[in-house]
Structure 1
Amino acid sequence: MHIRHATHPDELVKMTDEELRARFVISDLFVPGEVRAVYSHEDRMVLGGVQPRPGAAPLVLENYADLRAEFFCQRRELAVTCIGGSATVVVDGTAHALGAMDVLYVGQGSREVSFAADAEGTRLFLSSAISHATHPTKLIPATEALTTQTGEQFHANERTVRKHLHEDGAPSSQLVLGITSPHEGNVWNSMPPHTHDRRTEVYLYFGLGEGERLFHFMGTPGRTRHVVLQDGDVVISPAWSMHFGAGTSNYSFLWVMAGENQSFADMDQIAVPQI
């Protein structure tokens, strides 16, 4: 498991492009036949990618030595999101079938988690936070996520927002998770931008064509930096940072937060001229 350290806002403006990517971008999570993980010191989140091969033996979630735990979920909760294909995730002997954009919440205390692909191109994204309470393992299909429409075509930010883990949905200790999909002809996300000093947020971009790219912006008002991402890239956004982006085509992105509270509306809005 790779380690990513926390960052002060003043460091951001001094970083080279290579240093920005090394600190905030994860580009190699999805490798056929492997489970890969990154430990971020931003709210101590663990982020992972799983790409099982159809017909192969299931891949098993490792108990990483850096956690100093008896098993991965001893003190943690975990969300498993299928971003392509279909999969069977087995938690302590119980099998759960996941299709595209379904989320499986795995509660603290779950001992054994494994992943098997039911179709070619299956990719699973893992997001985990320290848990302070035990909640039941629960599957939240895309069809049962709280779904809203926001944005407007005039600003090229019309999008569908699906909330899977949130205050009024499946209970969790820290994790708040959903998937946002800009509509065809719309490219901006999280615009106008915001921060939420009480929570770290992570974006996973997917659904981008091979020749398309995503420009993700971060930083504080008046001190903005950006990174260029492709399909399957993950970016870590510290609690103090703005986080918004635009693609060369439409796409989807998974957003997941952990921190002080779980209030989706607890944002500090930033007007566009302040960027």
Structure 2
Amino acid sequence: MEVRHTTNPTDVKQYDTERLRQEFLIENLYKADEINMVYTHYDRMVVGGAYPVKETLTLEAGDTLKTEYFLERREIGFLSIGGPAVITVDGEAHELNKLDVLYVGKGKKDVKLASKDSSNPAKLYFCSALAHAEYPTRMMTMEEANPVHLGAQETSNERVIYKYIHADGIQSCQLMLGVTSLQRGSIWNTMPAHLHDRRMEAYLYFDMEEDTRIFHMMGEPSQTRHLVVANEQAIISPPWSIHSGVGTSNYTFCWSMAGENYTFTDMDVVQASEMK
């Protein structure tokens, strides 16, 4: 598990492209029959990817968490972005199709990840946050996530938002997770931009063509920067940073949050005229 520490927005003003990518971009989440994780000190979220092709993978704490098992003091949300997956939680199996989500609460000891069919292997993206109480394991399909249609073709941001783990969906301690899918011909997400100083956010961009790239906007509103992101790469977005993006084609991304507030609408909008 890679560990990344927090950064100071004043210092980030001096970062070059390489340093920005080292701090905020997660490039290699998926390797066959491996679980790869990044522990960020922003609200102590763990961002990870699992690619069980032929092997069944076990979610383990390792030395980083200093706990007996991964979910001893944590909760986790899994999003399926590949072939059918089987997640077994303390002996109970859950089958996920693409864009299904499984929430697993604090206290579950044995979590195993596998593909239902090795010829069409599963890919799982997950985010884990600290938890102070136990909530039940629950799965939600894409159809059950009450899709919300927003934006317009005229502003290049026609999109569908699927909310899975939040106050009115799957209950959790502090983790929130959902998916936004941009329609064909739309390329902008989260514009006008916003920030929420009370919680951090992580993004995974996926369902992109090999040559498609996202220009992910970050930084303080008066000191914006960008990261060029390829398919199935993730972003760590600090509480002090805006998070917005534009692609060379349409795409889908998973957003997840952890921190102070458990209110999806807790955000401070930054108009384009205020950004530099």
* TM-score normalised by L of structure 2: 0.97
- The aligned counterpart of 1:87 is 85
Question: What letter matches 2:186 in structure 1?
Answer: N
Equivalent of 2:107 in 98, 106, 109: 109
Number of equivalences: 273
Deviates more, 1:61-70 or 1:44-53: 61-70
The correspondence of residues 150-169 of structure 1 with structure 2, limited to 5 A, is 150-169=150-169
Instruction: Give distance in 2, aligned partners of 1:20 and 1:121.
Output: 32
Question: What letter matches 1:65 in structure 2?
Answer: D
Question: What letter matches 2:242 in structure 1?
Answer: M
- The aligned counterpart of 2:140 is 140
Q: Secondary structure of 1:84's match? A: coil
Question: What letter matches 2:110 in structure 1?
Answer: E
- The aligned counterpart of 2:94 is 96
- The aligned counterpart of 1:223 is 223
- The aligned counterpart of 1:40 is 40
Stretches of structure 2 that go unaligned for 5 or more consecutive residues are none
Instruction: Give distance in 1, aligned partners of 2:38 and 2:146.
Output: 29
Instruction: Give distance in 2, aligned partners of 1:259 and 1:92.
Output: 27
Stretches of structure 1 that go unaligned for 5 or more consecutive residues are none
Q: Secondary structure of 1:239's match? A: coil
Calculate percent identity across the aligned residue pairs.
45
Aligned-residue offset at 1:146: 2.6
Question: Post-superposition, which runs of at least 4 consecutive aligned residues in structure 1 deviate over 4 A?
Answer: none
Q: Deviations over 1:235-275 (max 9, x none)?
A: 00001100000110000000000000110101101111112
Aligned-residue offset at 1:140: 1.0
Instruction: Give distance in 1, aligned partners of 2:262 and 2:7.
Output: 22
Aligned-residue offset at 1:185: 0.1
Matched, 1:193 2:193: yes
Q: Secondary structure of 1:57's match? A: coil
Instruction: Give distance in 1, aligned partners of 2:228 and 2:173.
Output: 32
RMSD between superposed Cα atoms in Å: 0.8
Aligned-residue offset at 1:231: 0.3
Q: Deviations over 1:195-250 (max 9, x none)?
A: 01111000000011001111000011121000100000000000110000011000
Aligned-residue offset at 1:121: 4.3
Question: Are the counterparts in 1 of residues 33 and 55 from structure 2 also a CA contact under 8 Å?
Answer: no
Instruction: Give distance in 1, aligned partners of 2:122 and 2:29.
Output: 13
* TM-score normalised by L of structure 1: 0.98
Instruction: Give distance in 1, aligned partners of 2:272 and 2:154.
Output: 15
- The aligned counterpart of 1:31 is 31
Question: What letter matches 2:69 in structure 1?
Answer: F
Question: Are the counterparts in 1 of residues 166 and 264 from structure 2 also a CA contact under 8 Å?
Answer: yes
